[in-house]
Structure 1
Amino acid sequence: MREIGQISLIQVQRSSLKVERGTERYYDPASLLGVKYLLLRPEGVIGVTTDGSEVMDIHHENHPNSRNHNGVNGVSIGFTSHYRAMRSKLGEHLVDGIAGENILIESSTSHSLADLGERLAIQIQQTGRYIYLSGLMVATPCVQFSLFAANHGMPLPAAQLKETLQVLDGGTRGFYARMEGLQDNVTLQVGDKVFAADGK
């Protein structure tokens, strides 16, 4: 296995980040909530706050407005290096975590899907146990996030929107994964190490 970084931020999406107002849809990160722990369960992700409250992520199977698609997007990950790249091209308002991933990994280099391999391994610092995230897939950027990233939510000419979508694609905006073989609850926290398991 190859270490690629440590978890630097964990959070949940309490509701959809794409908000409807009349006939318009726009990106609003207000429902993001940073948490102390992240509970990974077979059904999805739950955040635990500093006061012990549990908050279900919208991609959890049991969320009343679940955005879970047969488990393939049960958890999302991003990299601090990708945020630096986004800020350099699109602006300082793209602070770490604003794209909505559950797990942000501190990393000095950018990572493509090919770089990461078939799955990631996370070592739980409290126990030394490894858990695996498999079925990695690019989190394709939506139009609403692209407008938020490039123009604070305001419309863009078609060519500029297309260019922004291309900048954010390929994993720059993040990745989705599923929990592999998870039979019980696993607790993640900031500082847990992340490895490219390289399919082994």
Structure 2
Amino acid sequence: MIEIGLVKHLQIQRSSLKIGQKPLRYYDPAPLLAVPGLRLTPSGAAGSDGTHELLDVHNRRHADTRNQGPNSLSFGFTSHYTAMRDRFGPHLADGVAGENILIASDRTFTLADLGTALVICGPDGRVARLVDLIVAAPCAEFSQFACFSDMPLTPGELRTALQFLNDGVRGFYARLADGPDAEVHPGDRVFVQA
């Protein structure tokens, strides 16, 4: 296994980040909630507000689930946010794309760089193995948000933004490997399994 970074930030999406109906639908990161730890299950991610379990909207158990099979968990990299800010501007704060797990790293990653699994290890022996990794393809709404434009993007502008944000720049999806539930906390070490 090759170490690629540390968990920097954890969050859930309490509800969809896409608001409204097409063609007027837009991206709003307000439903994002930072959590001190994530419980990963076969159904998806759950956080806590200290009193109650809070399900991520991509968790199959969420009342308004947006789970479509391969998107139960998501992760991204701080280096990808650096690239997005360089391209689109400072409004793209770390985590604004909505991934559950943000990994601090100085290099960018494509799907091919991530091997067969991502393994997250806590100092107390906790292990979370994420498998079935795929690119989280960017949507038009996030692309519009990234471009920070009040006016709809032209087809050419949208295509250019989508192309830049693809190939993992916007993030990746995964699922928890078969086995027991797992917990992830900031500071946990992240490895690629070939």
Amino acid at match of 1:65: D
Amino acid at match of 2:63: P
TM-score (norm 2): 0.95
Amino acid at match of 1:159: G
- The alignment status of 1:82 with 2:106, answered yes or no, reads no
Gaps of 5+ in 2: none
TM-score (norm 1): 0.93
- The alignment status of 1:194 with 2:190, answered yes or no, reads yes
Q: Kindly, what percent of the aligned residue pairs are identical?
A: 47
Contact kept in structure 2, 1:44 and 1:57, CA below 8 Å: yes
Q: Which residue of 2 aligns with 1:162?
A: 159
Gaps of 5+ in 1: none
Contact kept in structure 1, 2:58 and 2:71, CA below 8 Å: yes
Contact kept in structure 2, 1:27 and 1:153, CA below 8 Å: no
Task: Give a deviation string over 1:46-89, Cα, whole Å, max 9, x none.
Answer: 0123x34321100111111111123x211000000000000000
Q: What is the distance in 1 between the residues matched to 2:58 and 2:150?
A: 24
Amino acid at match of 2:175: R
Q: What is the distance in 2 between the residues matched to 1:182 and 1:66?
A: 23
The equivalent position to 1:135 in structure 2, one of 124, 127, 132, is 132
Structure 1 segments (4+ residues) deviating >6 Å: none
Secondary structure at the aligned position of 2:187 is classed as coil
Contact kept in structure 2, 1:119 and 1:132, CA below 8 Å: yes
What is the number of residues matched between the two proteins?
Answer: 194
C-alpha RMSD of matched pairs (Å): 1.4
Secondary structure at the aligned position of 1:159 is classed as helix
Q: What is the distance in 1 between the residues matched to 2:150 and 2:119?
A: 35
Secondary structure at the aligned position of 2:142 is classed as helix
Alignment of 1:29-178 (within 5 A): 29-49=29-49, 51-70=50-69, 72-126=70-124, 128-152=125-149, 154-178=151-175
Q: 1:21: how far off?
A: 5.7
